[in-house]
Structure formats: structure tokens, C-alpha cells
Amino acid sequence: MASITLFAYGTLLRGGAAHEDFCHDATDIRAARVRGQLYRLQEGYPALVVPVEATRAVSSLDAQEDAAVQARVHAEDASKKPAGAWVHGELITFPDAATALPLLDAYEDCRPGEADSLYQRVLIPAWWEGGCTLAWTYVQPQVRGGVYIPSGRWAD
């Protein structure tokens, strides 16, 4: 059983519409931020766009492999800050990638390797009070019709 850490910035945040359904077994939740741009989509949920240079890996069809990739990439690689505004959210650690990722991917309409997926799951640097780590998050490579949120906070 391999754990996995996710950067959440919208409905999966504590108090968010999907938090209780998907994050009830989280072993750790802490405030964090990433470089990128946050948008409010017409459908009522957020989309994150991150700088290309921030992406360290793209999700696969194998949750255990994605957990291994997250563990394998070195933290010092994460400390190189890409340019961009800050997006605020939470790092959520799940005890079992094989259980959490398929459910989260389905909720986020993320189908690794398929071009028509709504979101793509990528591994990016995230900063928290204690330092920097790498976390998986859901991004949209290109946002159409969204309203930019300058504060980088979904609640604003």
C-alpha cells in the first residue's frame, strides 16, 4: 500500500462540496500553494493551469506506479520555483493510492492518455509552511470560457 499526496484547490478542499465524499480517509491535510492560474468555469467549478516547466510527471493508468513516481522524484527538484502567480489550496495525503486515485480520477473526469478528458493529473511542486514537496493535482491544459481568479483562492 503506497500513499499519495494531492494538491486540492476547489471542491476537494475542507468544506468543499466533494471533500467528505472523497477525502474522509485522508491521513494529513495542510495548507499549501502552487504556481499557476486559477479560473472559475461557467459550470461552477475551478480549473488550474500550471506553467509547463512546473510539471514533473503526467499520470498513468497505474495508481501504484504514480505513487512510486511521486516518491522517486527528488524534493530538491521541486524547490525550483517556476514563474507565475500563487494558487492556494491544501495538500491532502491518502493512505492508499490504488484506492484513492481511481475514485478521484473518475470524479475529476481524468482519463490518462485520453485527449477528451476534462482534467489531466500532473505532478508539480507545492509549497507549505514546512518546505516544498511534489503533489499530484488536476489541471486543464487550456481553459475556455473561465474567469481568472487573481487571488488564487477558490473561496474568493
C-alpha cell at 6: 494531492
> In the prediction, which pLDDT does 68 show?
85
Name the CATH superfamily, with its identifier, for domain 4-146. Answer: Gamma-glutamyl cyclotransferase-like (3.10.490.10)
> In the prediction, which pLDDT does 82 show?
60
Backbone angles phi, psi at 26, to 5 degrees: -60, 140
Query: Contact, 18 vs 107, CB < 8 A?
Result: yes
> In the prediction, which pLDDT does 64 show?
87
C-alpha cell at 48: 488550474
What confidence tier does 19 reach under pLDDT thresholds 50, 70, 90? very high
Higher pLDDT, 45 or 89: 89
Nearest to 55 by CA among 124, 149, 140, 129: 124
Domain positions in the chain are 4-146
pTM: 0.90
Calculate the average pLDDT of the chain.
89
What confidence tier does 114 reach under pLDDT thresholds 50, 70, 90? confident
Residue 83 above 70 pLDDT?
A: no
